[in-house]
Amino acid sequence: MHSKKQQQSQQVKDTNTISETTNPIQPNIQTDLSIDIDFNKVFAELENIFKGTPNCSQSDFTQGVVNHYVAQNLNVFICHPVHKCDNYEAKHHYEFKTNLLQSKGYDIYLAHRGKPMVATNFGDGGDSQWGYGGLFTREHQTIKYE
C-alpha cells in the first residue's frame, strides 16, 4: 500500500499536467470551514475550458476536469454512469457532447482537501468513464479522499 504522498504523486504522473502549487483557496485542514468557495462559479468555468475544443476525447475531458480542479487544490471525482459519492461539498452534472446529436452525462463532485469524501465507480474503469485527483487513497474502484 502506498502512502498518501505516493498516491498523489502517482495521480500526478498519470495525468502528466497536475502539479503541486500554492493556491489561495487551499484549505487549512484545522480550520477547513473558514474557506468559502463559490462552487457555482467554479463549475461555470467548465464551459470556458472546453468551449474551443470540439474534438476533445472523453478521456481528455475527464482528465482535463481533474487537472483543472486539482490545480485549485480541490479533491475531485468525475464519473459516468454508475457510481456513488458521499460527503462531497458540491456536485454538478455536465453533458459532454459526443457528436452533434448526442451527449454523455458526467457527474462531477468537489470537496476541500481535508474533507473525508468517499467515491466508488461501479462501472468501467477506463479514463473515458471516470477520473479523480487530490489527496486520496485508492482501493480497487473506491477512492477515499483526505
Query: What order of strands is seen across the sheet that includes strand 136-139?
Result: 83-86, 118-121, 142-145, 136-139
100-123 pLDDT per residue, tens: 888 889 999 999 999 999 999 998
- Does residue 66 lie in a domain region? yes
pLDDT of residue 29: 34
55-97 pLDDT per residue, tens: 778 888 899 899 999 998 999 999 998 899 999 999 989 888 8
- Does residue 32 lie in a domain region? no
Q: What is the count of structural domains for the chain?
A: 1
Instruction: Give the burial string for 59-85 (b: 16+ CB within 10 Å, else e).
Output: eebbbbbbbbbbebbbbbbbbbeebeb
Give the span between the Cα atoms of 124 and 90, in whole angstroms. Answer: 24
Cβ neighbours of 49 (radius 10 Å): 14
pLDDT of residue 21: 30
Q: Which domain holds residue 11?
A: 4-19+37-145
- Whole-prediction pTM: 0.70
Residue 20, pLDDT > 60, answer no
- Does residue 52 lie in a domain region? yes
Residue (of 82, 80, 135, 122) closest to 103 by Cα position: 80
Question: Which residue has better confidence, 105 or 125?
Answer: 105
For the chain, the residue count is 146
- Does residue 88 lie in a domain region? yes
Question: Which residue has better confidence, 87 or 17?
Answer: 87
- Does residue 25 lie in a domain region? no
Average pLDDT over residues 124-142: 91
Q: What percent of the chain has pLDDT over 90?
A: 39
Taking the chain, what is the end-to-end CA distance rounded to the nearest angstrom? 16
Average pLDDT over residues 34-39: 56
